[in-house]
Chains A and B, each alone.
Chain A
Amino acid sequence: AQSVTQLGSHVSVSEGALVLLRCNYSSSVPPYLFWYVQYPNQGLQLLLKYTTGATLVKGINGFEAEFKKSETSFHLTKPSAHMSDAAEYFCAVSGNNDMRFGAGTRLTVKP
């Protein structure tokens, strides 16, 4: 069965600092990986996804993620945090029938 593990339930950065949210996956087949963002009292919005091809994937709002098979990782980064990035972030892996999510990482951005 496919699964993802997000390291760190809460990450706090200063405005302008690097954002790094960690995600490791477990899959017996080539994985399809996603990052979603959830703002307070809203649904989940797709940030980016990796299916095949280029391992560095660029998403919306300046986020990107790199698929590293050797490390079974798909970490999310952004060079410079903005106050509006404060939200809950979910890593997910897609199988044939559904999508399985990590436990989420809450990102706090300090002024």
Chain B
Amino acid sequence: DTAVSQTPKYLVTQMGNDKSIKCEQNLGHDTMYWYKQDSKKFLKIMFSYNNKELIINETVPNRFSPKSPDKAHLNLHINSLELGDSAVYFCATGDSLGVSGNTIYFGEGSWLTVV
């Protein structure tokens, strides 16, 4: 039973399309994140949600919109996809936002390719 599951794992789409990546966690954690990993493996945080409330919104184009319908889900919607959006997107969860030392648990990643 996967703790943090993302769908789809692979996604190939054309420029200009709108796509969503879904994430679900069954760990009961309060906090969920989206990270982007580029082709050089660099990991950058995009968003952080705590109990469905947006906490962190890094410098990310507003074409990216996270949605948290409940504490167990954090979806990522991307409008008007661009070539530069090609990357691996990781959903992650952690408990007790605000408590340092918080371990973050990652999903398997969603490989997005924009052509």
Contacts and interface: CB of A to CB of B under 8 A. Distances in A.
Nearest to B111: A41
B101 A97 contact: no
Q: How large is the interface on A (under 10, 10 to 19, 20 to 34, 35 or more residues)?
A: 20 to 34
A98 B42 contact: no
Contacts, number: 62
Interface string A91-111: 000111111110110100000
Interface string B87-114: 0001010100111111111111101000
Contacts of B27: none
A94 B102 contact: yes
Contact of B42 (A32, A46, A49, A104): A104
B101 A100 contact: no
B107 A97 contact: no
Contacts of B12: none
A43 B108 contact: yes
B43 interface: yes
Contacts of B97: 96-97
A46 B43 contact: no
A44 interface: yes
Contacts of A99: 45, 94, 102, 104
Interface in B48-106: 48, 55-56, 90, 92, 94, 97-106
Interface residues of B, number: 27
B42 A100 contact: no
A36 B43 CA distance: 12
Given A43-B90, A103-B41, A103-B42, A97 B98 contact: yes
Contacts of B94: 99
Interface string A20-62: 0000000000001010101001111110010110000000000
A63 interface: no
Contacts of B108: 42-43
Interface of B: 4, 33, 40-43, 45, 48, 55-56, 90, 92, 94, 97-109, 111
